[in-house]
Each structure stands twice: as C-alpha cells, then as structure tokens.
Structure 1
Amino acid sequence: MAPLRRGDGPNKFRLSSVDTATTTYEGDTGWAKRPPATVACGQCGSEIFQHSARDDLDCPRCVAEYGPEEFGDLELLHLTCPVCRSRMAQGQRHPEQFDIPEWATCERCRYHWEFEHSYDG
C-alpha cells in the first residue's frame, strides 16, 4: 500500500473525514486568536459584539463600557466562526478554574479553536 499523500487534483486529500464529528479542518489556539464573541451587556442586556479578544466592549444601546479583561464577567451569548460566520458550539474543560470558554467548534465548516493554557490540577 502506498503512503498517504495530499493530491493536487480537485479532491485534495486530508487526514480527516467529512463525516467524523470530531474532525476539524483548520483552527487556532490562544486567547488572542479567540473567535469573535457576542456577550450580554451587564447593565441593559443588549448584545455586544467583540471582534477580537483584545477589543473593548462598548454597549451600542446604553453607556456601559467594559475592558477586554472584563469579558469573563459578562454573559457569553455565542462565539462566531471566523471562517463561515456560523454560531459555534463552545464549552469549558475546567469550569472551576476559568470563567471563559476554553474551546469552540463550528459544526458547519469544522473550524476549531482552543484556549491554550497549562493546567496543573
């Protein structure tokens, strides 16, 4: 049997299957590369969109302003896939240690993001 290789034709070979739920095609790691997020304003409940994890969170409806370090204090409504703009499935692996999402996967295009950290539990 020949070794696995990526082809140059229209059916580009990937070491993953489209039908496998845990398979991802591309992704990023680290908080700085976190997908765009939508959170609820702590004062009026309106949706605040944060494109980058380092952006301030300014409510478009009231006067509330939050720094990027206050992200974990606000209710996360959803993360948005940076590839196809779909809402992502997201969650935490260590909810007792972190108040932020630790991973997110797009069910549509299989993009995946991980919050990279060392965990000594």
Structure 2
Amino acid sequence: MTDALQTLFRGVKGAGKRIIAPLQRGDGPNKFRLSAVDTATTTHDGDNGWAKRPPATLECPRCEADILQHNARDNIDCPRCVAEFSHEEFPDLELKSLTCPVCRSEMTHGQRHPESLDIVEWATCDGCRYHWEFKHSYSD
C-alpha cells in the first residue's frame, strides 16, 4: 500500500509542476500573457523608438497600391508600379495602417504633436494591448 501511495503522490506532484510551469519565469523571456482582451484597460507590453516602429502600410502616390514597409529603415518600393522611395520620404506618403508585431492586427494610431511632427507618434493594438510609442525629446 505504501508503494501505491508514493506512486500516486509522485504523479500528483508531477502534474502540479506541469500546471505551474507556464506561470513561472525561467531563464528566457516570459512569453506567457495573463491579459484578457475584453477586460484590458492598459497596454500589456510594447516598444518605443522609431527603429522599433510596427510594420506600416502606405499608399503609393502613383498607382494607389498598398506598400508594406516592414522596418522603419527599409526603402519603400511599390509592388505594382516602379515607384521607389527612401525611408526618409515616409512623412510625405499617406499612412494607411500599422500592423501589430505581436498578433498581426491593425493598430489604432495617431499623433500627439501634429503641429511639430509629420509622423505617427503612437500606436496601440486593441487585440493584444501591445503599444508602440515614438520616443522623442524636446530641448529649449
């Protein structure tokens, strides 16, 4: 009877460890998310800085096709016509949307200082609550 009890105890202990394992931090990054989409009122995680801007979809000024710019420093090349733009021309093109790098949903985005900057300054994903912020500083 003692062996059966020890075997049962080991089985229950092993099951408990497997249930608790995703909730514990390990040596690597903690990718377990506890946020509930319908109840989230704040952002869950995010990045800042122009280099970490989410992928952008722009409108080609020549043929009106969608141009996907994966990285903020990538050149902007239209897949339908021969239009090519450098990443520095981003403010001159029409931004259609930003794509969440976590869940690939379309993000809500906007500007905080439209009179000072010609670029998008923030974006939030309503699906997973990821948030990106353009980090800038002002000097007098």
* TM-score, L = length of structure 1: 0.83
| Alignment deviations for residues 2-39 of structure 1 (CA, whole Å, 9 cap, x no partner) | xxxxxx66667x9x886243x11110000000000000
Which residue does 2:74 correspond to in 1? 55
Distance 1:43 1:120 in 2: 38
Which residue does 2:59 correspond to in 1? 40
Equivalent in 113, 116, 121 of residue 94 of structure 1: 113
Runs of 4+ in 1 over 4 A off after TM superposition: 8-12
Mapping of 1:1-121 within 5 angstroms? 19-21=39-41, 23-119=42-138
Gaps of 5+ in 2: 1-19, 25-32
Deviation, 1:119, is 3.1
Deviation, 1:42, is 1.4
Distance 2:74 2:61 in 1: 17
Number of equivalences? 113
Q: Secondary structure at the match of 2:91?
A: helix
Deviation, 1:43, is 1.1
Q: Secondary structure at the match of 1:95?
A: coil
* TM-score, L = length of structure 2: 0.72
Distance 2:138 2:48 in 1: 15
Conserved in 1, the CA contact under 8 Å of 2:43 and 2:129? yes
Query: Cα RMSD (Å) of the superposition?
Result: 2.4
Q: Secondary structure at the match of 1:53?
A: coil
Q: Quick check: which has more Rg, 1 or 2?
A: 2
One-letter identity of the residue aligned with 1:54: R
Gaps of 5+ in 1: 1-7
Specify which structure has the higher proportion of helix: 2
